[in-house]
Chains A and B, each alone.
Chain A
Amino acid sequence: VNALFHIARILCLLAVAQAAPATGLPPGVMPVESIPAPALRLNDLDGTPYDLADTHGHWRFVHFWASWCGPCRREMPSIQQMQSLLGSDGPGIVLVNTAETGDEVFSFLAAVAPDLVPLLDSDGLVTEAWQPRGLPATFLVDPQGIIRYQALGGRSWEQPAYLEFLRHLPPGPTATPAGSR
């Protein structure tokens, strides 16, 4: 029994080691050299304005996407699941649709991730200012408004390695619990 226990423990350690590489970052998440987040002032589907600068003090998960983009479509349910699993323990989610109409955004999200609240970058210029490497793109912005990490392509955000990473982002000096956006 002891031998079995030790084997199981080693297997668990190996699994954890694989999920969290030596860098401490989950797969596909890269540190960024302290870039101040560009302006992000957009309206949501109801026309309610949102300004990223008003949410300083929290970590933010800023995600750019479009419904025509295959990896974006595959990733979106995992973002909703991540939000559900993290609750107020995670960063505020800022979901920016790139250059589509409200109807296109609504009809897509209502089917695959109805709990997420999108912002509309109707002409695509805010997306371009952030210079993502492609779509989908995710940036993690710290409580002081500095981009600290970016994710490469679509990720399985609901997986334990990502959830643990997002739960343990260092708090900022004025950090308070963050909900959606």
Chain B
Amino acid sequence: MRTPLPHVTLCCVLTALLLGSLPWACTAAERQWRGPYLETDALLIRLIPRTPDQMAAFYEGRGFARAAIERIRQTCFVTVHIENRSADVIWLDLDQWRFTGDGKPLPRLDAAHWDAQWEAIDLRQASRSTFGWTQLPALRDLQPDEPVGGNLVFPGTTELLTIEARFPVGADRQGTPIRAGFGGIHCRREAASP
């Protein structure tokens, strides 16, 4: 088994201080996942911060236009993977999530934002479709045993990001919500390539 990673431990401690009562599964994270991670009986969440170079390479490899790549490079991607491991419906509803950078609210760049960007550069339909499918859905009634994944995108920043997630529970959303907090997420802005 892999030994605990010092930077992950530090990340967990900082997050615990930042987010107080929100659950934080540091132990599991230290053993199984290098990035922000939460695993309970009901839910698995993994976050993978991406670099601008990673995202540019991904979309360039799929034939995205240069103008689209330039816009993507200005932003910060965090890939999210979630699995509902409970016997109940768990709601992924991004309106219930809070994003901050250095303590200040950080807007999420949503589908409407990207639609406007792609319209402005007349991006071809295939690229718009691919980009859309790589995004985390804004709303999803996660059924038992259902996974979901995709990217959250924020304006590019050198600040550490904090994500506070709230998941309504039950088909009628009336169950006790599940909360999770993740801090110390590096956007890892790099100098833009020439």
**Footprint of B on A, CB under 8 Å?**
27-28, 30, 66, 68-71, 98-101, 104, 122-125, 127-128, 133-135, 152-154
Contacts and interface: CB of A to CB of B under 8 A. Distances in A.
Contacts of A30: 143
B125 A28 contact: no
Contacts of A66: 130, 133
B147 A153 contact: yes
Contacts of A133: 137, 140, 146, 148
Q: Which of A99, A124, A125 has most B Cβ within 10 Å?
A: A99
Given A100-B130, A104-B62, 9 more contacts: A68-B61, A98-B133, A100-B62, A123-B124, A124-B132, A128-B129, A133-B140, A135-B133, A152-B146
Contacts, number: 64
23 contacts: A28-B146, A30-B143, A66-B130, A68-B61, A70-B149, A71-B147, A71-B149, A100-B62, A100-B126, A100-B130, A101-B63, A104-B62, A123-B126, A123-B129, A124-B126, A124-B132, A127-B133, A133-B148, A134-B133, A134-B137, A152-B145, A152-B146, A152-B147
A123 B128 CA distance: 9
A124 B146 contact: no
A154 B58 CA distance: 22
Contacts of B147: 71, 152-154
A134 B149 contact: yes
Contacts of B35: none
Nearest to A121: B129
B141 to A, nearest CB: 9
Contacts of A123: 124-126, 129
- What class of interface size applies to chain B in its complex with A? 20 to 34
Contacts of A98: 129-130, 133
Contact of B130 (A70, A99, A152): A99
Contacts of A70: 149
A19 to B, nearest CB: 13
A88 to B, nearest CB: 30
Contacts of B140: 133
Contact of B143 (A128, A152, A154): A152
A8 to B, nearest CB: 28
A152 B144 CA distance: 9
Contacts of B149: 70-71, 134
A124 B58 contact: no
A139 B34 CA distance: 35
A108 to B, nearest CB: 12
The 8 closest A-B pairs by CB, nearest first: A124-B129, A152-B146, A99-B129, A123-B125, A99-B126, A153-B147, A99-B130, A28-B145
Q: Which of B58, B126, B140, B147 has most A Cβ within 10 Å?
A: B126
